[in-house]
Amino acid sequence: MIATATEIENFIEVYQIQHISKAAIRLGITQPSLTQSLQKLEEKVGAKLFYRSKQGLTATQEGHLFYDRARSLLDNWRDVGNQFLESRNVIAGKFRVGCHPSVACYTLPSLFSQINEHAPNIEIELVHDFSRKITEQIISYQVDLGFVVNPVRHLDLVLKKIGEDEVQFWKSKTVATVPQRIFADTNLKQVEALLTKTIQKDFKNWTLVPTSSLETARELTAQGHGVCILPTRVARNAKDPLTIYMKSLPTFHDEIYLAYRKEVLSSQAGRALIKLASNPI
């Protein structure tokens, strides 16, 4: 018996998350249904694909091998579906779009407006992570296209510049004196670079408060609890106005790109989506 596209999609999701219940939530199905799907797939390929434990799932050697081929199998299946739709002059398809949650706030509304108007049959699944992680997932066929900041060049990537930004230090516009506290996502390379240049000189006795949420850093700063390091596009979205903390401090220049593999252009829906997503921001 041949594995179905749904069984392959379910397998890929479980392989990437390594947890049945979390994968089931993302897929929008029940845990028993997902378990049954995996069991059917294992019967069809004639091999055990996962080791199961209380901590989650770990792929077997056969599971790793099947995953290497599963992405191409699924892409081929989608190509068949897209070609069928194209023969009926219908622009339709399903794509995974990735970006950092903060980047999503100023890129995705425009994208969905374009889809609603020009290609309403295109389905989108969103994936959120750091830009460098999204770039890796595009290269490895886990994500179809993404809005990424300062991507590393790669032979398998097509990069279209769609905007720029500036990362810098911000404070509340309405609070005269703020506590000596910096809110920042220290996992971002831009933040690391700015702190390296300033922490010993300009913020020597300040407290650094790491946070993975740029929006949290922005709102705490807006309420006068310290300063923050943010891209200008994020800072300008504060309900309470922020202003540059010190104009003499260094800044970090960002470039924003649409990134995708050239294979996305193989279908009419893929070409349409790239066109809709390529508008400057």
Q: What is the pLDDT of residues 48-68, one digit of tens each?
A: 988 887 777 888 888 888 887
| Nearest-angstrom CA–CA distance, 152 and 130 | 13
- As a dihedral over the C-alpha atoms of residue 267, residue 268, residue 273, residue 274, rounded to 10 degrees, the angle is 70
Residue 181 tokens, joined: 């506290």
DSSP state string for 197-228 = HHTTTTSTTPEEEE-S-HHHHHHHHHTTS-EE
What is the arithmetic mean of pLDDT over 22-37?
A: 83
pLDDT score at 80: 59
pLDDT score at 90: 59
Cα 255 to Cα 16, 166, 229, distances in angstroms = 29, 9, 17
Residue 111 tokens, joined: 């994208």
Question: pLDDT at residue 31 above 90?
Answer: no
| Nearest-angstrom CA–CA distance, 62 and 47 | 7
pLDDT score at 57: 83
Cα 206 to Cα 37, 104, 168, 182, 185, distances in angstroms = 54, 31, 17, 7, 16
What is the arithmetic mean of pLDDT over 160-184?
A: 95
Comparing 28 with 134, which gets the higher pLDDT? Answer: 134
Question: pLDDT at residue 162 above 80?
Answer: yes
Question: pLDDT at residue 84 above 70?
Answer: no
pLDDT score at 140: 84
What is the arithmetic mean of pLDDT over 6-30?
A: 83
| Nearest-angstrom CA–CA distance, 232 and 40 | 50
Find out whether 50 and 58 touch, Cβ atoms under 8 Å. yes
- Residue type at 211 in one-letter notation: T
What is the arithmetic mean of pLDDT over 29-58?
A: 84
Owner of token pair 């996992």: 187
What is the arithmetic mean of pLDDT over 204-226?
A: 96
Owner of token pair 């091998």: 65
| Nearest-angstrom CA–CA distance, 71 and 9 | 9
pLDDT score at 235: 95
pLDDT category at 46 given cuts 50, 70, 90 is: confident
pTM of the model: 0.71
Count the residues in the chain: 281
Cα 101 to Cα 117, 120, 156, 171, 266, distances in angstroms = 24, 23, 24, 22, 28
What is the arithmetic mean of pLDDT over 88-99?
A: 80
Comparing 30 with 184, which gets the higher pLDDT? Answer: 184
Domains of the chain: 5-83 (1.10.10.10), 165-255 (3.40.190.10)
Comparing 270 with 76, which gets the higher pLDDT? Answer: 270
Question: pLDDT at residue 224 above 80?
Answer: yes
User: In this prediction, what percent of the chain has a pLDDT beyond 70?
Assistant: 94
pLDDT score at 56: 77
Q: Please provide the average confidence, as pLDDT, over all residues in the chain.
A: 89
